[in-house]
Amino acid sequence: MTRIIGISAFYHDSAAALVVDGELVAAAQEERFSRRKHDPSFPQQSIAFLLEHAPGPVDAVAYYESPWLKRHRVRSTVLAAAPHGLDGFALALAGGALRRDTTQRALRHGLRIAGLPADTPLLWSRHHLSHAASAYYPSPFERAAVLTVDGVGEYATTGLFLGSGHRIQALAEQRFPHSLGLLYSAVTYFCGFKVDSGEYKLMGLAAYGDPRSARTAGLRKLITEHLIDIRPDGSFLLNLRHFAFHRGGTIIDAGDWEELLGLRRRLPETPVGDEHANLALAVQQVTEEVMLRLARLARSRSGSTALCLAGGVALNCVANTRILRDAGFDDVWIQPAAGDAGGAAGAALAAYHLALGGPRPSGPRPDGPRPDGMNGALLGPEVSPGSVARLKDRYGADYERYGEFDALAAVVAGELAAGKVVGWVQGRMEFGPRALGNRSILADPRNPETKAWLNTHIKAREDFRPFAPSVLAEAAEHYFEAPAQSRYMLLTTDVRRSPEGAVDASPIPAATHVDGSARHHTVEEPRNPRLWRLLTEFERLTGCSALVNTSFNVRGEPMVASADDAYRCFLRAGIDLLVLGDCLFRLDRQSARIDHAALPLD
């Protein structure tokens, strides 16, 4: 038996994952324990959780990238940009990027504190290889093209691979500073959102842009003529004159972009206007076009009819859907933890299969395709009954415990049908950014007012942000046009509407975006029997097979992990009901109160 821990750390979204004989058995992001959103620090608490699940001593630790190559890229970049790179050089020096063995020392120190032996082998992957491994090895495919797209790893910003059996072969790469992810992040910054955390907001904002307006077309033309040169095969060059990330400091010079685009940069926390929505749509269209061309290149170079996707840009659900429909692949599988957190899983899988030569079972399964190696992304810690009981001692919490889950599901479904909002915590926590029914806030999707209420009163976030529907897999075709299976909420589809075609005629208006689409989540009984049972009961009561599903957190905080996190968020956000396992908490029966004001901003 071979036990490997994979680690991603020191940039953003630190995480750790445990692989046993090639199977991913546990994974978690450090932010869920530290309560610091996008925590980049060494994943000490995540590793402590993994060690509880390790069936014996750890044989090796794998890091998700090469710190030596990364430092070499930083040095080369700031020196090449001289004299403009002096600020970048100072930042790199302050961060330790120019000192030798900084990462290795930090890893050894953290592992020593975690209690691992000093002689535990430490293996090194490559950033995009880790992304590729995270996508290919858990996929249901025996052979597949693999496309990885993000901001930057060591040097690569885009990677094209071929996975076959237990091997992964690199086919091509795009190198820094030419990066589709950094172009998208630059527009994210210009529209007033945080780089490396606000890109999903830009994707949501894009739906508010007008695809028929001359202004949107003009902004797209400015992007493709002045910011990025896109080649027919999907390769591209950024016009570095209009970017600053390679010189240090901010990602762009806002004044330069204002002059180029004829538009003022939106300041954070100010109203979002039509012009910024049109810009968001323009860069979304460009991103989709590049991703589609890259996917077609992957199809031709690999000769495979299956595709795996990873890297931060693979969290762009709209682009993923374009690839699924138009790139010429029979099947597409997307890593649910596609960003850097998923690199921890990829590093461990690459170490087992590539460095140690561990086998990957081949051939068809008696019951169908290879099983999904991400186990529904439900890889984190569970909430123990003891931790629920301790809420009574700590907060005076009042709750009812149900002996039969069916009875609990019936009560909760009835409350949802009556318009109540429910915090829902079941089983193991999700790995990755999506709430998939184990750390979720649920609501009735039939009420058009639900979206505004959730954004304003519960989540305390921007009013343009959409919510996703979780729907019974067997009923998905009744709600969506040509719905693809979307177990990980990484695809979009159009919601079926009345013959008049109005968005407000949607059967699930609270989970329908302004453009009539939805980032749907299909729920199957074997994968998540409790959420499936709740949806079934809600369908029995209302005739509706879907629920609004958003992550269980408030703005500026990570998704809840523990019973204590869930209870405090339940009180702070004013959620009507909280379900922790078999226990039901009602807000109006709680004596403790936590102020909802002064929420941290993300």
Asked about 478 being catalytic, the answer comes back as: no
List beta partners, residue 124.
63
Give buried/exposed letters for 136-145 (b at 16+ CB in 10 A, else e): bbbbbbbebb
Of 12, 128, 178, 520, the active-site residue reads: 12
Rounded Cα distance between 403 and 426, Å, is: 15
Q: In 3-state terms, what secondary structure has residue 92?
A: helix
Cα 594 to Cα 255, 453, 456, 591: the distances in Å are 42, 19, 17, 10
Instruction: Give the closest residue to 513 by CA, choosing from 448, 461, 440.
Output: 448
Structural contact between residues 383 and 425, judged by C-beta atoms closer than 8 angstroms: yes
Rounded Cα distance between 69 and 77, Å, is: 12
Element (H, E) at 156: strand 156-164
Rounded Cα distance between 79 and 62, Å, is: 30
For 483, the token pair is 């719905």
For 497, the token pair is 């509407």
Give buried/exposed letters for 399-411 (b at 16+ CB in 10 A, else e): beebeeeeebbbb
For 109, the token pair is 């120190």
Rounded Cα distance between 526 and 537, Å, is: 17
Given the DSSP bridges, would you call strands 546-551 and 468-472 parallel, antiparallel or unpaired?
antiparallel
Rounded Cα distance between 564 and 386, Å, is: 11
Q: What is the DSSP string of 248-297?
A: SSSSS-HHHHHHHHTSPPPPTTS---HHHHHHHHHHHHHHHHHHHHHHHH
Instruction: Give the closest residue to 158 by CA, choosing from 38, 295, 7.
Output: 295
Q: Which residues are catalytic?
A: 12
